[in-house]
């Protein structure tokens, strides 16, 4: 019974985690400083210059298991583009690039 409650709870929570919410969250960094981005998200996994932009890349992954034999690797790679110290754009890829909207 406890497993069923846990699984239903996880399903409900994962149902609220959407790519649309993730894009909305990332869009809030457009126009903000690189300093604020790093202060909020932490240091990126990698950073490189591609004049006139700087690329900051973040990577997140986790192993998610519904049972001992049913696991999957969830991951998301997010890249921000910074020009003159200001975030100008982003992109992302992965099978679990999502965020929860707590404003409902």
- Within the chain, which residues score under 50 in pLDDT? 1-14
Q: Which domains does the chain have, with CATH numbers?
A: 2-100 (3.30.1450)
Contact 63, 75 (CB under 8 A): no
* Model pTM above 0.85: no
Please report the pLDDT score of residue 19 as a whole number: 95
Tens digit of pLDDT for each residue in 61-86? 999 998 888 999 999 999 999 999 99
Q: What is the pLDDT of residue 61?
A: 95
| Distance, CA of 99 to CA of 104 (rounded, Å) | 13
Q: Smallest Cα–Cα separation from 7: which of 64, 63, 62, 66?
A: 66
State the pLDDT at residue 58. Answer: 98
User: Which residues in the chain belong to E strands, given as ranges?
Assistant: 17-18, 46-50, 53-67, 70-83, 86-94, 99-100
Report helix, strand or coil for 98: coil
Of 50, 102, 101, the residue nearest 80 (C-alpha) = 50
Of 35, 75, 36, whose CA–CA distance to 58 is shortest? 75
- Rounded CA gap, 60 and 82, in Å? 20
Query: In the prediction, which pLDDT does 6 show?
Result: 41
Per-residue model confidence (pLDDT) at position 77: 98
């Amino acid at each position: 019974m406890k497993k069923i409650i846990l699984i239903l709870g996880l399903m409900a929570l994962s149902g609220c985690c959407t790519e649309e919410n993730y894009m909305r969250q990332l869009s809030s960094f457009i126009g903000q400083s690189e300093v604020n981005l790093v202060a909020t998200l932490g240091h990126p996994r990698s950073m490189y210059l591609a004049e006139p932009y700087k690329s900051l890349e973040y990577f997140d992954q986790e192993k998610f298991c519904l049972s001992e034999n049913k696991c999957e690797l969830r991951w998301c790679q997010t890249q921000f583009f910074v020009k003159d110290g200001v975030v100008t754009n982003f992109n992302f890829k992965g099978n679990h690039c999502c965020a929860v909207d707590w404003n409902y």
